[in-house]
Amino acid sequence: MMSQNPNFKHPTLQLLEKCQTLHAIKQVHAHMLTTGLALHTYPLSRLLLFSSAVSIAYALSIFNQIPNPTIFLFNTLISSLVTNGGHNTYSVCSLYNRVLSHQTLKPNSFTFPSLFKAFGSDPWFQHGRALHTHVLKFLGSTHDHFVQASLLNFYAKCGRVGVSRYLFDQIREPDLASWNSILAAYAHSTSTECISSASNGCDSSLSLEALYLFKDMQRSSVRPNEVSIVALVSACANLGALIQGTWAHSYALRNNLKLNRFVGTALMDMYSRCGCLDLAHQLFDQLNERDALCYNAIIGGFAINGYGHRALCLYEKMKIEGIVPDDVTFVVTMCACSHAGLVEEGCKVFESMEEVYGIKPKLEHYGCLVDLLGRAGRLKEAEERIQTMPMKPNAILWRSLLGAASVHGNLEMGEVALKNLIQLEPESSGNYVLLSNMYASIDRWDDVNRVRKLMKDHGVNKMPGSSLVEIGVPCMSS
DNA sequence: CTAGGGTTAG
């Protein structure tokens, strides 16, 4: 057998690790077939792992030629699909079903973590719940940290932070990744559980709990690392808690944690959301590794805080540094142009998306474009963009146009926008109010009454009050 | 015996 000596690596497998292309993988595969290496589980698992990085289809075709795959090979393929495949959840399901329907195969503790990772988004929630019962069936009350952490993350990603907490409390001696999982769960906190009247999906009390959990972690035997800091800082950013965020920053420095791009991005986001653009920018300069996300954070920070020109400078710097912008880069950069009134620049950025970078504009990019043109009073162009865009415009776009029409006193455009808005959300009174206010502002009271009648005709009969719900931010002592 | 969980932006 080939794995008697743990340091032994078959030369063919060494070669396999260097393969960058499908062509090279195929050559090694052919060699493995002729030498009989492809009859053994471990070499096959390496082959699956490396080929899935290049071509999922090829990995699947290799797998389908294996006469009696072991659970080990199923696990290898499932995890490769989850990490390399992106949206292969259907293939992942069918592979897992093959395991279940097999007479002798049984899922083990290595099978579940990748599956929970694959099911960690809303459309797959019910699949993940079913899988949870499989954990109980096949593993009983397991104390496997990997299985427990993957379950915890699954429930958190589907908005069930309470379940995550329950599962975390079941873990006897949480390790670093378990702590980081629960910290991240609270820091990102989009809970669907406790629906309070003021809840809009981002509950600040959950972020606050992340701060308390960090304290608990410090009292435990596990030392926080960079990942822990990222969660802590994100929680502070959500709370707008500058003092605690700054403390987290200094904690990282005191404990010799690295200012990697993850920590850097989280800190920049925190500082800019707290209005400390100078600190965010200082940090940006200190980072010695920067990717598109670092740039997005600082460009977005400048954009939101009204420094459109500085944001654009950084966008240029990014291009000079040779960092390829992603779709978020275009959102934040166009937002910057919009706020600074740099219409031509913003349009150019939009056009360059597809022409230069081959990124198809999404709905939100059209949203930025309409906002950009609308603010500048170029309403006709904005409308044309909405009418000719390749996907169905949503209410946000029409509302943006309605708002712009209102600001620029363009009644015809306002009515066009409203007509479309009413079709998309006929029950929302806010849309009518916008138009009605527009007429009122120029003393066209007949039209105000006409809009009111329109509301009545659509069964919307309440003008909303203007009560803002104050969300009580709890007092923190540090 | 080999494999599996945690981090960044709007």
- Read off the CATH number of the domain in which A336 is found: 1.25.40.10
Give the CA count within 13 Å in the CB-facing half-sphere of A301. 28
Among A106, A128, A154, give the residue marking a domain's end: A106
Whether residue A273 is found in the same domain as residue A236: no
Q: List strand B contacts in A 137-156 (CB < 7 A).
A: 144-150, 153
Read off the DSSP letter of residue A469.
Answer: P
pLDDT in tens, A453-469: 877 777 776 654 433 33
Backbone angles phi, psi at A116, to 5 degrees: -65, -35
Q: What's the domain count of chain A?
A: 3
Tokens of A457: 């005709």
**Three-class SS of residue A26?**
helix
- Is the CB of residue A135 inside 7 Å of nucleic acid strand B? no
**Higher-pLDDT residue of A206, A436:** A206
**CA→C1' distance for A269 and B8 (Å):** 9
If you ran DSSP here, which 8-state letter would residue A174 be given? Answer: -
Return the closest nucleotide (C1') to the Cα of A112: B4
Establish if A115 belongs to a structural domain: no
Question: A283-311, pLDDT tens digit by residue?
Answer: 999 999 999 999 999 999 999 999 999 99
Q: Which residue approaches B8 most closely, CA to C1'?
A: A262
Protein residue at shortest CA distance from C1' of B1:
A3
A124 inside domain = no
The residue whose two tokens read 């809840």 is: A199
* Position A471 confidence tier, pLDDT thresholds 50, 70, 90: very low
By CB neighbour count within 10 A (0-12 exposed, 13-18 middle, 19+ buried), where does A46 fall? buried
Q: Which nucleotide is nearest to A75 (CA to C1')?
A: B3
Whole-number pLDDT of residue A95: 95
At what angle are helices A327-340 and A292-304 packed, to 10 degrees?
Answer: 20
More confident residue, A342 or A193: A342
Asked if residue A372 lies in contact with residue A406, where contact means CB atoms within 8 angstroms, the answer is no
In a domain, A248, yes or no: yes
Contact A99, A109 (CB under 8 A): no
Mean pLDDT of A440-450: 81
In the structure, how far is the CA atom of residue A311 from the C1' atom of nucleotide B9, in angstroms?
14
As a rounded value in angstroms, the CA-to-C1' distance for A48 and B1 is 18
Is residue A117 in a domain? no
Q: Does one domain contain both A100 and A34?
A: yes
Ranges A266-270, A322-326, A405-409: which has the least confidence: A405-409
Model confidence band, residue A450 (pLDDT cutoffs 50, 70, 90): confident
Q: What are phi and psi of A68, to 5 degrees?
A: -130, 80
- Of all nucleotides, the one whose C1′ comes closest to residue A72's CA is B3
The reply to whether A156 and A253 lie within a common domain is yes
State chain A's mean pLDDT as an integer: 89
Please give the protein residue whose CA is closest to the C1' of the nucleotide B5.
Answer: A146
**Nucleic strand B within 7 A of Cβ A265:** yes
Domain boundary among A361, A394, A426: A361
Mean pLDDT, residues A70-77:
96
pLDDT at A353 over 60: yes
Q: Which residue has the higher pLDDT, A473 or A91?
A: A91
A433 touches strand B (CB under 7 A): no
Q: How far from chain centre, in Å, is Cα A89?
A: 17
In a domain, A19, yes or no: yes
pLDDT attached to residue A427: 78
pLDDT exceeds cutoff 70 at A186: yes
The pLDDT value given to residue A432: 77
Domain shared by A240 and A282, yes or no:
no
**Are A304 and A353 found together in one domain?**
yes
Q: Per-residue pLDDT averaged across A252-267, rounded?
A: 97
Q: Could you tell me the pLDDT band of residue A1, with boundaries at 50, 70 and 90?
A: very low
| Residue A10: band (very low, low, confident or very high) from pLDDT cuts 50, 70, 90 | confident
Q: Compute and round to an integer the Cα radius of gyration of chain A.
A: 27
Among chain A residues 361-420, those with CB within 7 Å of any atom of strand B: 362, 364
- Quickly give A298 CA vs B4 C1' distance in Å: 35
Q: Give the residue from A390, A352, A397 showing the smallest Cα distance to A372.
A: A397
In whole angstroms, B4 C1' to A111 CA is: 7
- Give, in Å, how far the C1' of B2 lies from the CA of A164: 31
Q: What's the pLDDT tens digit per position in A115-146?
A: 999 999 889 999 999 999 999 999 999 999 99
Chain B: nucleotides under 7 Å from a protein CB?
Answer: 1-10
User: A60: domain range?
Assistant: 1-106
Other C-beta atoms lying within 10 Å of the C-beta of residue A357: 14
Looking at the fold, whether A157 and A204 belong to one and the same domain comes out as yes
Do residues A240 and A165 share a domain? yes
The pLDDT confidence band at residue A439, using thresholds 50, 70 and 90, is confident
Q: How far apart are CA A276 and CA A268, in angstroms?
A: 9
SS3 string, A223-280, reads CCCHHHHHHHHHHHHHHCCHHHHHHHHHHHHHCCCCCCHHHHHHHHHHHHHCCCHHHH
Instruction: Answer whether residue A465 is part of any domain.
Output: no
Q: How confident is the model at residue A5 (pLDDT cuts 50, 70, 90)?
A: low
Q: What average pLDDT does this structure show over A400-418?
A: 91
Q: Do A202 and A471 contact (CB within 8 A), yes or no?
A: no
Same domain? A241 vs A301: no
Q: Is the CB of A273 under 7 A from strand B?
A: yes
Q: Report which of residues 312-371 in chain A place their beta carbon less than 7 angstroms from any atom of strand B.
A: 326-328, 331-332, 335, 362, 364
A283 Cβ contacts chain B strand, under 7 Å: no
Same domain, A315 and A241: no
Q: Is the CB of A180 under 7 A from strand B?
A: yes
Residues A284 and A334 in one domain: yes
Provide, in whole angstroms, the distance separating residue A168's CA from nucleotide B5's C1': 13
Q: What's the pLDDT score for residue A192?
A: 65
On the 0-12 / 13-18 / 19+ scale of CB atoms within 10 A, A441 is: exposed
**One domain, residues A74 and A146:** no
Least confident of A5-14, A157-166, A223-232, A394-403: A5-14
Which nucleotide lies closest to A187 by the C1' atom and the CA atom? Answer: B7
Residue A344 lies in a domain: yes
Residue A462: the pLDDT is: 60
Q: How confident is the model at residue A202 (pLDDT cuts 50, 70, 90)?
A: low
Judgement on whether residues A280 and A214 belong to the same structural domain of the protein: no
Domain boundary among A215, A230, A257: A257
Residue A219 lies in a domain: yes
Could you tell me the distance in Å between the CA of residue A339 and the C1' of nucleotide B6? 37
CA distance A339 to A361: 20
Q: Which residue is closest to B4 in terms of CA–C1' distance? A: A110
What is each CA distance from A386 to A346, A367, A403, in whole angstroms? 16, 9, 14
Given a cut of 90, is residue A452 above it in pLDDT? no
A370's tokens: 């309409």
User: For chain A, how far is it from start to end, CA to CA, in angstroms?
Assistant: 60
Is strand B within 7 Å of residue A232 (CB)?
no
